[in-house]
């Protein structure tokens, strides 16, 4: 069965007054590394190699390199040969309020000539092969107690069950694709690995994470040559280096946006400060049913973010200024960053007012 993949970021223009949340600052960029399988779950054992051992070795190498960066915090779902259920893996990432979740695996196929590295983000499988890969990785839930209740009746063997997986990750899809693509490019350009491209499939370990998340299939243990490579120290070192490169490129990509105009640090702080007893302007860039962390990589690199909530809808804003000309600059920046429906909105004492009322009030 073939599925059409469709995602849509829920955008609404109407704003209602509510509490505003300020952006968190000074936090380390947190990466959760998930070594697939472990303990009683060996993963695939093509040619006598153990997926659980190889995925752990690569994860630990990735972590040791990332930990050399002073502004990066690394958390592991496991650091030894133990069984960790899929729900717990996501829970670890969510509790840490991670910026990235990277799950590392090895592939297997009925034909021994299949080879190459691939990366996956959560989505509806577009073909039977992607479904089989997801089914293999999801089957670990059968080793867990009360899995029917824990995963809301999810059946890894039923293609229809996958449809329910995609909804919770939709707000992070764009960022997930970006990091997956950067890692995939590193595999191809640096290591000359066969490019199995970035794909979407229904991996349950990605469903419950509330951040950009990627599952990596480093290669096929069922291929003798590739299995030997992945089981070697050389292969594990090279694969880990490419994953690290992709992560660092992602971090740089979404943390190097410069402020527009001649704002100095004092002026920018003053513009970003909430003014509950004054008139001010913001740029509304998006709305969603999900509470998205106010971090630049979740908003196409934009900074100076804030958030409000009305009912079950969160609304997201870029910048805060009392200058209409400055607001138009910010609006232009937001649209160039990809938020084509962004608008300028006015506030007085935390309540929305029309731009006409704002301009007439500030002229008095």
Closest CA to 71 of 247, 199, 289, 320: 247
Indicate the SS3 state at residue 104.
strand
Q: Report pLDDT for 348.
A: 84
Quick check: 243 and 215 in contact, CB under 8 A? no
User: Worst-scoring range by mean pLDDT, 7-11, 17-21, 153-157?
Assistant: 17-21
With 0-12 / 13-18 / 19 or more C-beta atoms within 10 angstroms meaning exposed / middle / buried, residue 49 is buried
Give residue-wise pLDDT tens across range 239-257.
999 999 999 999 987 764 3
pLDDT mean across residues, the chain? 77
CATH 3.30.70.1070 location in the chain? 265-362
Q: Which pLDDT band holds residue 278 (cuts at 50, 70, 90)?
A: confident
pTM above 0.85, yes or no: no
Beta strand segments in the chain, E: 20-22, 29-35, 72-76, 100-107, 117-122, 195-201, 213-220, 279-288, 305-310, 313-321, 343-348, 351-353
| pLDDT, mean of residues 251-279 | 48
CATH 3.40.630.40 location in the chain? 25-253
More confident residue, 77 or 363: 77
Give residue-wise pLDDT tens across range 123-175.
654 445 445 555 555 555 566 666 555 555 556 566 555 554 544 445 677 78
C-alpha distances in angstroms, 84 versus 32, 157, 162, 269? 14, 21, 22, 44
Closest CA to 49 of 220, 216, 217, 238: 220
Is 3.30.70.1070 the CATH classification of the domain at 265-362? yes
Distance of alpha carbon 196 from alpha carbon 219, whole angstroms: 10
Q: Phi/psi at 251 (nearest 5 deg)? A: -60, -45
Q: Report pLDDT for 147.
A: 55
Q: Report pLDDT for 230.
A: 97
User: Worst-scoring range by mean pLDDT, 50-64, 77-91, 210-224, 261-275?
Assistant: 261-275
CATH superfamily, with its number, for domain 25-253: Zn-dependent exopeptidases (3.40.630.40)
């Amino acid at each position: 069965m073939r599925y059409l993949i469709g995602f849509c970021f829920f955008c609404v223009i109407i704003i209602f007054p509510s509490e505003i949340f300020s952006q968190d600052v000074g936090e380390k960029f947190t990466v959760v590394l998930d070594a697939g399988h472990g303990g009683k779950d060996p993963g695939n054992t093509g040619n006598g190699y153990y997926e659980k051992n190889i995925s752990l070795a690569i994860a630990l190498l990735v972590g040791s390199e990332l930990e050399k960066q002073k502004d990066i915090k690394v958390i592991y779902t496991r650091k030894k040969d133990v069984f960790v259920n899929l729900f717990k893996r996501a829970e670890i990432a969510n509790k840490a309020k991670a910026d990235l979740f990277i799950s590392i695996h090895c592939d297997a196929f009925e034909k021994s000539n299949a080879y190459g590295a691939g990366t996956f983000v959560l989505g509806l499988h577009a073909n039977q092969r992607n479904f089989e890969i997801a089914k293999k990785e999801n089957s670990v839930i059968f080793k867990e107690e009360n899995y029917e209740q824990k995963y809301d009746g999810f059946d890894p063997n039923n293609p229809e069950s996958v449809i329910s997986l995609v909804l919770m990750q939709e707000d992070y899809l764009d960022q997930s694709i970006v990091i997956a693509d950067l890692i995939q490019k590193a595999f191809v350009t640096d290591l000359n690995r066969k490019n199995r491209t970035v794909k979407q499939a229904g991996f349950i370990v990605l469903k419950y994470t509330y951040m950009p998340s990627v599952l990596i299939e480093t290669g096929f243990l069922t291929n003798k040559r590739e299995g030997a490579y992945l089981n070697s120290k050389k292969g594990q070192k090279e694969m880990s280096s490419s994953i690290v490169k992709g992560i660092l490129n992602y971090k740089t990509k979404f943390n190097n946006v410069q402020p527009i105009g001649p704002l100095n640090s004092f002026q920018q702080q003053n513009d970003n400060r909430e003014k509950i007893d004054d008139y001010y302007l913001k740029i509304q860039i998006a709305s969603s049913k999900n509470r998205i962390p106010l971090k630049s990589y979740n908003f196409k690199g934009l900074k100076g973010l804030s958030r409000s909530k009305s009912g079950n809808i969160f609304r997201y804003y870029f910048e805060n200024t009392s200058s209409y000309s400055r607001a138009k600059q910010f609006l232009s920046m937001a649209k160039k960053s990809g938020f084509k429906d962004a608008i300028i909105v006015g506030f007085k004492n935390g309540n929305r007012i029309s731009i006409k009322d704002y301009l007439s009030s500030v002229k008095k």
